[in-house]
Every structure is written in C-alpha cells, then in structure tokens.
Amino acid sequence: MPRLKFVVHEHDARRAGLHYDLRLEMGGVLKDWAFRKQPPLEIGVKRYGVQQEDHDLMWLDFEGEIKEGYGAGTMRVWDRGEYEILESTGDKLVLRFYGSRLKGTYVLLRFKEGWLFFKTRA
C-alpha cells in the first residue's frame, strides 16, 4: 500500500479543553479523531475517541494559534510522518505508522458512539 501522511496535533482548545487530534490523509482529505489523552505508545493501552469532521490537507503542516471558532486555542505537532493502511473496513482500520512517536501497527475500531485506538504490534 502507498504511504500516506498523518499528523497528531496536541490541541489546547479554549472551549473543548486539551485533546489530541489524530489526522490521517485519506481520500484527499484529513480524517480526524479526537482523544482526551495522548495516543498510546505501548501495546495494551486503549484510547477512546470520537471522529471529527474531515479537514483540509493544509492542516498537515499547521502549528500555532487558532484565533476564532470552535477550535480556538493552540495546536502543536505531537507527531507527524507517514503511515499505510493495512486493512480497511467500515468499522476497523489497521494502520502501520512510521512516525517519530507512533511506530508500528495500530487499530482504529468503531466502538459505541466512537472509536478505540490501540497498538497491536511493534
């Protein structure tokens, strides 16, 4: 599979509070999942998050201050790099990350109203 780009933003939003946005390039847009805690770096840790609206690819390179709107606050890049999709169904994505922090195989799995994100292999 071709490698695509991803970014994880540490988003200190004035309204929503601190969260982490996992943003994956997919089909010409950035798919976005928001988590309260940092993405897991170890096997055995699960994060529950909620999918957000798709974003424009320009956000891949964004870092800084958002002045207005729902996301107003500060966004820092927590990790970025490339990833590939190993498996994709409507309810489950198996992804391989080649980031500085996110490395290895991860699963995004639809769960209740949201998604679980966890690492399965180094």
Binding-site ranges for Mn ion (CB under 5 A): 11, 21
* 37: three-class secondary structure by DSSP: coil
Q: How far is the CB of 73 from Mn ion (least distance, A)?
A: 8
User: Please, which residue, 11 or 31, has the CB nearer to Mn ion?
Assistant: 11
Q: How far is the CB of 15 from Mn ion (least distance, A)?
A: 10
Which residue in the shown chain puts its C-beta closest to Mn ion? 11
DSSP assignment, residue 70? T
User: Please, which residue, 74 or 105, has the CB nearer to Mn ion?
Assistant: 74
User: Please, which residue, 52 or 105, has the CB nearer to Mn ion?
Assistant: 52
Distance spanning both ends of the chain, measured CA to CA: 18
> Residue holding tokens 């390179």?
61
User: Please, which residue, 75 or 107, has the CB nearer to Mn ion?
Assistant: 75
Q: How far is the CB of 55 from Mn ion (least distance, A)?
A: 9
* 61: three-class secondary structure by DSSP: helix
DSSP string of 93-114?
Answer: EEEEEEESS-EEEEEEEEETTE
Q: How far is the CB of 71 from Mn ion (least distance, A)?
A: 5
| 62 contacts 74 by C-beta, under 8 angstroms | no
